[in-house]
Structures are given as structure tokens and as C-alpha cells.
Amino acid sequence: MKLGAMAIGLVLIGSLGAVTVPARPSGPCRSGTLLDLKTRIQTLPAMTNQHYEEKEKNGKKVTDGYTYSPDRNQTIYVLTVELDDMTYTAETPQNLFFGYNPTDLVVNDPIGVCIDKNKLILIRPNAKEYKMKIVRIERKSKSQVDH
């Protein structure tokens, strides 16, 4: 019995330790230029969280109603990257606990860039990927390319 439990434990530990390798982006991966790094504040509206009904509990009345969360602000990072004759603008919300906040990137410096469908993937200074949603693509005009 103890041997069976130990075998199950080893299988669980082994499966937790498995490493998955992310798929490489299907689009071009080259050196681009970080043209701009901005932030904008987005206000998320209040939401209804829970409904409660009127009840008698220990001789006290609990009234019918809803609980609400207040409006909250969210920081959105907006980055603009030039790659060949295209300019990509992408954005992602700030993640305070688990995410990367791109404030250590330097505007006008070269940066590794990959395009995967509607995702812009930047290669961070520590060689990790930073994925953002593309919100605008602009092709440079001929006069801009010639300069």
C-alpha cells in the first residue's frame, strides 16, 4: 500500500516538473525599432457582483438588493514598433502581480520583434517574450521609405 502511494506521488511530481516548449511565432522575427512607449488609463465600469433576497434571520430583516464594485482604473501599455516598412501599434493591460511592465525598454533602440497573427511579440532584454495585441498596422509611404 505504501509503495502504491509512493508511485502515485512520483508520477505526480514528474508530471508537475514537465516543461512545455512554446510554439515559435509563424510570422517574421527580426530586429525592429521601438518608436514609442505610452500608457493610457482605462476606466472599467462598476459591476453587479451578487444578488441577495429579503430574509428573516435571528429576528432581523435582510433586505433585497445587489452588491456593487466601484469603477476602477486600469493602466494600458501602448507600444509602437517599426519593422521594415510597417509600423505596428500594440497594447496590453498592466498586470501588477504576474506580468511584465515594459518600462525598462528604451525608445529608439533596436528590439527583437515577431508577428504572430494579431500578436506582436517583443523579445525583452532578458530574452523572454512579451506578447501584445496589435491594434493598428500602418505601411510607410514611399517618401518615408526613401529617406
Supply the mean pLDDT for the chain: 77
Distances (CA, A) of 118 to 10, 31, 36, 84, 110: 41, 18, 19, 17, 21
- pLDDT tens track for 99-139: 788 988 999 999 999 999 999 999 988 889 999 999 999 99
Instruction: Assess whether pLDDT exceeds 70 at residue 68.
Output: no
pTM score of the predicted model:
0.64
d(CA 88, CA 133): 10
| Residue 70 pLDDT level (bands cut at 50, 70, 90) | confident
Q: In which band, very low, low, confident or very high, does the pLDDT at 29 lie, cut at 50, 70 and 90?
A: confident
- Provide the pLDDT confidence category of residue 58 given band limits of 50, 70 and 90: confident
pLDDT for res 50: 61
CATH code at 25-44+76-146:
2.40.50
Confidence (pLDDT) at 54: 62
